[in-house]
Structure 1
Amino acid sequence: MPKSGGGVMAWNVFRFCTALRALGSIMMVLVFGVIGLTYYVVVIADYGPALFHGGLDSLTSFIVLLLFHSLLVMLLWSYFATVLTDPGGVPTSWRPSIDEERGDADPLIGLEHGGANLGLNQSSVLGEPANQRMRFCRKCNQFKPPRCHHCSVCGRCILKMDHHCVWVVNCVGALNYKYFLLFLVYTFLETTVVTLSLLRLFIAFFTEGEISGTPGTLVATFITFVLNLSFALSVMGFLIMHISLVLANTTTIEAYEKKTDPKWRYDLGRKKNFEQVFGMDKRYWLIPAYSEDDLKRMTVLRGFEYPTRPDLDELQLQQL
């Protein structure tokens, strides 16, 4: 097992890439299996028939079914947006730009050959803190934009890569990170609604309460409650972690890499950090899409350029 530059043991979580790709397909089947089972129990077996009971039962059923279907639509929309949206790749023609304001002329500009033949100093190519833009991927044999990382599962560099998620069979990066976060939000809300709506039946399993339905329906209800409760709790923890990452303007990979450095040059404040992921148009914050205005005026949504803190940039220049 190789060691990192700081002497800490580094473990490649994507070592078994082929297995992870196969696992992703299984996870997709599992997702739709849980959704199908939940739909059967909540809509067909329980609250659907209760709509015709009249009185308070009908009103309660209508509210539960309205919430359930509304959240399900948003969950599936966010899920497919995450699965089908390319997280962002690096064009082979991409080159680091020259910082004219600082007068930094990037020596990598204009070179036409691959990194293996450049004869450059390895530390400058791989991205020392003093030269963040000069990064090169030896696996892809091309330059890497800021905050870009190579995914061994996808076999390419991903813009602002957060992680490779087997649940969505895709990388989570610059272009679909918002969609992934909304998928987590709506999954948590949906599983919470299902858990609360089936709680009375779950309690009745262990009391003398009356439960109607066939043995098969009762077993399905019990399994659905346990699964949705488990997903709600696990997703809640995952969601809290990602909210903290968004507010600090970092990714899962970056949070690990900068754990010894409390000064993060991309942290612009919680409001601006949030807008870099969700956009500035509040009407689009809760849906997996961006407004045309945001796509035009916010270069960060393209995944190549990210504003930095001027104070840390000055400190960085002084250390050169």
Structure 2
Amino acid sequence: MPTMHRSGAAMAWNVFKFCTALRGLGSIMILLVLGVVGVTYYAVVLTNYGPALYDGGLDSLIALFVLILFHCLLIMLLWSYFSVVLTDPGSVPPNWRPSTDEERGEADPLNGQEFNSVQTDLPKPRVRYCRKCNQLKPPRCHHCSVCGRCVLKMDHHCVWVVNCVGALNYKYFLLFLVYTFLETSLVTVSLLPHFIAFFSDGEIPGTPGTLATTFLAFVLNLAFALSVMGFLIMHLSLVAANTTTIEAYEKKTTPKWRYDLGRRRNFEQVLGTDKWYWFIPAYSDEDLRRMPALQGLEYPSKPDFDSEEF
């Protein structure tokens, strides 16, 4: 028994070290993202397409188009990225108590005795309880070991943004994926002729440093475009089903999902109903007022949902 105790303590200590390392790694990842942006900007704007503006003719028009689109996507990418980094994903309010039985959908408030039985006695608790935070958990809320707290509608902890992705910043994360894919794809296509030129027999203009930067920028953006494409497709499918990465894993054998409201309404639960705000990391005041899902504590579900089927 003492051996088992020491083993369990060592495992907990190792997990704690891992979580601490992830928190420290996050700051490095932000610098890495900014470094990739800097290398890309130097290769596209300063080395290749900026000077091409003075060539005249069709080359100047192409360069102007590439530079305008590049800067527009870059602004949206950085806006979305820092919105994810700086926005709290959503925490459980102090002394939060559900006004209804979230699992059965009944309108009668739960009293203190029911809370005690909910936490310990029932094999299938109606209201979930986090033993690490010592508090009740709203629906779709999960505890993040890296952040050390419960996060509303937690999707995952992302080291690239030094933050959890949850109810209040998931839209921003999704837009970050969209604009990263578009930007890296644009850079890959625009630098492809210069990349091919490396393997030609002709003379290539530029210094060894600028040529190396162009080569590096092409390889990095191609790698990011391919990896982000798969990640983006996965998250679009999750939004279409109104689920998160954690929930998709938890319900992988479940035939139905109570929060699946139909594809259009599922997207509105993340992007909002105001289409003018769909492509920017912000919500309209009206959506924030009338859509509880955007606050992370209450979520609409199917009216004919039968909890006994789960």
Scaled by the length of structure 1, what TM-score is found?
0.87
CA contact (8 A) 1:124 1:135 kept: no
Q: 1:267 aligns with which of 260, 268, 272?
A: 260
Cα displacement string for residues 187-240 of structure 1 (whole angstroms, at most 9, x for unaligned residues): 000000000000001111112244210011111111110000000000000000
The alpha carbon displacement at 1:281 in A equals 0.2
Structure with the larger helix share: 2
- Give unmatched runs, 5+ long, in structure 2: 1-13
Instruction: Return the letter of the residue paired with 1:81.
Output: S
Structure 1 residues 121, 194: closer, same or farther in 2, change over 3 A? closer
Q: Distance in 2 between matches of 1:102 and 1:306?
A: 12
Paired residue for 1:3? none
Q: 2:158 aligns with which of 153, 162, 165?
A: 165
Q: 2:220 aligns with which of 223, 227, 250?
A: 227
Instruction: Return the letter of the residue paired with 1:173.
Output: G
Paired residue for 1:30? 32
Q: 1:72 aligns with which of 64, 74, 97?
A: 74
Paired residue for 1:49? 51
The two structures, once aligned, show a CA RMSD in angstroms of 2.3
Q: Distance in 1 between matches of 2:57 and 2:235?
A: 42
Instruction: Return the letter of the residue paired with 2:39.
Output: L
Paired residue for 2:146? 153
Count matched residues. 296
CA contact (8 A) 2:119 2:129 kept: no
Structure 1 residues 27, 252: closer, same or farther in 2, change over 3 A? same
The alpha carbon displacement at 1:105 in A equals 3.8
Moved over 2 A (4+): 12-15, 98-107, 109-112, 118-125
Secondary structure of the residue aligned to 1:171 is strand
- Give unmatched runs, 5+ long, in structure 1: 1-11
Instruction: Return the letter of the residue paired with 1:30.
Output: L
Paired residue for 2:63? 61
Q: Distance in 1 between matches of 2:221 and 2:202?
A: 22
Cα displacement string for residues 127-171 of structure 1 (whole angstroms, at most 9, x for unaligned residues): x3xx54x11100000010000000011110000000000000000
The alpha carbon displacement at 1:15 in A equals 7.3
Instruction: Return the letter of the residue paired with 1:269.
Output: G
1:287 and 2:280 correspond: yes
Percent identical residues = 70
The alpha carbon displacement at 1:123 in A equals 6.2
Paired residue for 1:86? 88
The alpha carbon displacement at 1:257 in A equals 0.4
Paired residue for 2:128? 135
1:310 and 2:303 correspond: yes
